[in-house]
Structure 1
Amino acid sequence: MKRLVPMRVALSLILLPVLSLALFACGGPESSTPRYIAEGNPPLLSDWGMMASNGRSLTLGPRVEPYDLVTPLFSDYAHKQRTIWMPQGVSANYRDDQVLDFPVGTVISKTFYYPRGSGDDEVLRSLDHAPGWRADGLDLAQIRLVETRILVHREAGWAAIPYVWNSEQTEAHLARAGDIQRLTLVAPDGRREDFVYAVPTSNQCAGCHAINNTTREIEPIGPAARHLNRDFDYLSGPQNQLAHLAAVGYLGTWPGSEATPRDADYLDETADLNDRARSYLDINCAHCHNPTGPADTSGLHLRHDTAPGPHLGFCKPPIAAGGGTGNRPYAIQPGEPDQSILLYRMQITDPGSLMPELGRAVEHVEGIALIYDWIASMSPSCTD
């Protein structure tokens, strides 16, 4: 004799897979489970579980915390969704003047995307949040995802792993050899600029993140206290990012926002011009240009705490002559931006001479204007 299944149970058995598919289609938290992968290079971004996309919505996984920087690194006007995740039971230690001391198991992600233009390969130049930005992910209707970079802290140290998104925006695939995408950047005034967006190789990722030229150890660049000490508009409302990380168990004891250093927002015209310029150079240049960095032989140190003088570039002649100087005499000639090598290297787009060497193919109009005004504001001091 057959045993009859109650109608309610039968319906639940039928609807369960349908509901599961619906949850995935909505991109809800159930669609991704974050995990630490101790070795190897997973072929898919979804293997990490930090985020999930159905092509319409990208949603962050449980306990994956978004964050932003006071002044971000410029990357050809790409927008970025940054996240931090840690396994249960561990947290970062506060460090006053360095990147937070993240425990083994930490996974940091950075997703690069653009607002879409009218053409297939058109992207819009905008400093505001791209359409569809959300604290918990992205509405992809007006967004073009390009790449997501993973930094994972393993027992042997940090590893950098790049992924490139497919055209359906449903998955990103491992791209250890990098990728090239030809795009057209459309400015607010309609001006168009064709450029090549270069997804870095694994080695190039490691090269930028090996900020100590002696040890060559990889580490994050952005999540230092001075770059994080700002409010973020979480789903629950605005809160200081360091306070939030502490509240969710991702950060141990810290001295509070007032006692924590903070870089200036380079776009905040109410802030001191020198502070804004130093903040911009700090995040964009100092990971190479510091006393122990990959550009240590240049003698040009662009950290936020470098004292004004030759190491900051004032009246400093180039170590080696060549096209990269623009025939200008000093790294920074106070009062003379048009005679300063630093500004020249920011303005040119020749791959052999531009700075930074990676992550830029177009001029950063706002950054150039800031550094121009900063140098112009200085009292002339170089003597021939």
Structure 2
Amino acid sequence: MKKLLLSIFVLAVVFSCSKDDETPIPECTVPGNLQVTNISQTSVTITWESSNADSSFILEYGESGFALGTGTIVNTTSTSYTINNLAANTTYDYYLTANCGNGNESDPTSVRSFTTLFPLVVAEFLPNLSELNLFEGDLENLRPSVYTYEYDLITPLFTDYAHKQRLIALPQGSSMVYQNDGLPEFPDNTVIAKTFYYNVDEQNPGLGKIIVETRVLIKIDGEWQTGNYKWNDAQTDASYTTDGHVVPLSYTDTEGATVNLDYEIPSNTQCFQCHNKSNIITPIGPKLRNMHFNNQLEDLIGDGMLTNVTNLSELEALPSWEDTANFTLEERARAYFDVNCAHCHQPEGSCGTETLLDLRYETRFNETSIYETRFSILTRIQNQIPDYGMPLIGTTIIHDEGVALILEYINTL
């Protein structure tokens, strides 16, 4: 009888264990509805959904193309995770696995990707131009950052026939404030950059550029500061400099002739001489009247970069010095004077105490002293003698077309 009871007990235990072994393990389902939000230059938040009870999650990520298992691994019990300390303008891959415990893991999700934002423009004079983040990709392509606005001028300043790329970068969430048709009020940490270059062959611009310098203005604590970046021969970057430099270069002009030029990069002292207004550094080019074409101001207003404009149609545009069809000889000559000469030749400019000339476009003719000094003007704009020829700074050759315009105008007075 005892043997029978023992046999029954053993069978019961075996049967019971057999039933336990047959209990199904719940499936650990793959996380779903993965979303990427709050992307910045250095961080991103990943969220997901899970139908598993009491599960944790394994998140692995790395720069695009990393081998699975070699990335950064994060364990979390939450259905969201913020990754920090990422590199800007970089694509990352990631995938997720649910861990339901006791070695029960889901299949991994498919590999997903995200790209961090391009770095913000840096409002600081750093050793290399590339560190300011004004451009995307290879610097030599001069492709502006998404955080800059590329603009042009109706009547530009002449600099030895150099081409110029002009950029404005405002701090995020700020704007230029309209005051009148001159300069707007710029917020602190505004960066204005102008890059000077020549096409290797003006008849075939696709052959490449000779980039010489990038001049930079930065508004720091309410005051503008100037700095220059001299491009290296490889055209891969430019170095900060406060000194003047002479850069010999050669290119083919629009007529097919070879032009040899000793291009002069101004020193910081020379930059101040032109940008000086009552001993305060001031931008020269981006006056609203000189930007009022090709819908540039409309674009700035639409993008929230220019505010306080009540009626744009009332803002007078500066004439184009080359537009003979729509502007008079006087209007074109006065516009040329305004852009090329008036930053020095006005009461608050560097030459304000040395001459009666006031060449600002808005100055009435009888207050400009153009007529009284006409012979001096004619002599000096046709001369390259140092400290005598005009302009004093920024050119090494005479602007033949500009001189012809001024000669024609003055001969009518």
| TM-score (normalizing by structure 1) | 0.74
1:275 aligned residue: 331
Q: Is the 8 A contact 1:246 1:253 kept in 2?
A: no
Q: Does 1:360 align with 2:413?
A: no
1:142 aligned residue: 208
SS of residue matched to 1:309: helix
2:119 aligned residue: 33
1:13 aligned residue: 66
Return 29-38 or 91-100, whichever deviates more: 29-38
Q: Does 1:180 align with 2:233?
A: no
Give the letter for the 1:115 counterpart: N
More strand by percentage: 2
Q: Does 1:291 align with 2:347?
A: yes
1:79 aligned residue: 163
Q: Does 1:131 align with 2:202?
A: no
Matched residues in 1 for 2:88 and 2:183: separation? Answer: 40
1:60 aligned residue: 144
Give the letter for the 2:280 counterpart: E
Return 92-101 or 181-190, whichever deviates more: 181-190
- The 1:73–1:357 alpha-carbon spacing in structure 2 relative to 1, beyond 3 Å, is same
Q: Is the 8 A contact 1:346 1:363 kept in 2?
A: yes
1:176 positional shift = 1.3
1:349 positional shift = 1.6
Give the letter for the 1:110 counterpart: K
SS of residue matched to 1:164: strand
2:174 to 65, 71, 90: 90
Q: How does 1:225-244 map to 2 (within 5 A)?
A: 225-231=288-294, 240-244=295-299
Give the letter for the 2:123 counterpart: I
Give the letter for the 2:65 counterpart: S
1:336 aligned residue: none
Please, what is the CA RMSD of the aligned residues? 3.1
1:62 positional shift = 1.7
Task: Give the aligned length.
Answer: 315
For residues 277-329 of structure 1, the C-alpha deviation after alignment (integer angstroms, 9 at most, x for no partner) is 10000000000001121111211110102222363321x2xxxxxxxxxxxxx
- The 1:156–1:306 alpha-carbon spacing in structure 2 relative to 1, beyond 3 Å, is closer
1:187 positional shift = 4.2
1:99 positional shift = 0.9
Q: Is the 8 A contact 1:55 1:168 kept in 2?
A: no
Q: Does 1:261 align with 2:316?
A: yes
For residues 165-221 of structure 1, the C-alpha deviation after alignment (integer angstroms, 9 at most, x for no partner) is 111211111121132112346543445554321111122212211122xxx111111
1:307 to 329, 352, 364: 364
Q: Does 1:48 align with 2:132?
A: yes
1:377 positional shift = 2.6
1:248 aligned residue: 303
5+ unaligned residues in a row in structure 1: which ranges? 118-123, 133-140, 232-239, 317-330, 333-339, 379-384
Matched residues in 1 for 2:370 and 2:63: separation? Answer: 75
Q: Is the 8 A contact 2:128 2:238 kept in 1?
A: yes
1:11 positional shift = 8.0
2:405 aligned residue: 370
1:31 positional shift = 9.2
Larger radius of gyration: 2
2:80 aligned residue: none
1:157 aligned residue: 223
Give the letter for the 1:91 counterpart: S
| Higher relative contact order structure (alpha carbons within 8 Å, sequence separation ≥ 6) | 1
Q: Does 1:104 align with 2:188?
A: yes
2:285 aligned residue: 222
For residues 237-262 of structure 1, the C-alpha deviation after alignment (integer angstroms, 9 at most, x for no partner) is xxx11111111121102144421021
SS of residue matched to 1:13: coil
Give the letter for the 2:392 counterpart: E
SS of residue matched to 1:207: helix
5+ unaligned residues in a row in structure 2: which ranges? 1-57, 72-86, 92-114
SS of residue matched to 1:208: helix
Give the letter for the 1:131 counterpart: P
Matched residues in 2 for 1:180 and 1:365: separation? Answer: 22
Q: Is the 8 A contact 1:182 1:196 kept in 2?
A: yes
1:168 to 222, 226, 234: 234
Give the letter for the 2:301 counterpart: A
Matched residues in 1 for 2:144 and 2:311: separation? Answer: 27
SS of residue matched to 2:194: strand
- The 1:10–1:106 alpha-carbon spacing in structure 2 relative to 1, beyond 3 Å, is closer
Q: Is the 8 A contact 2:248 2:262 kept in 1?
A: yes
Matched residues in 2 for 1:91 and 1:21: separation? Answer: 24
Matched residues, percent identical?
A: 33
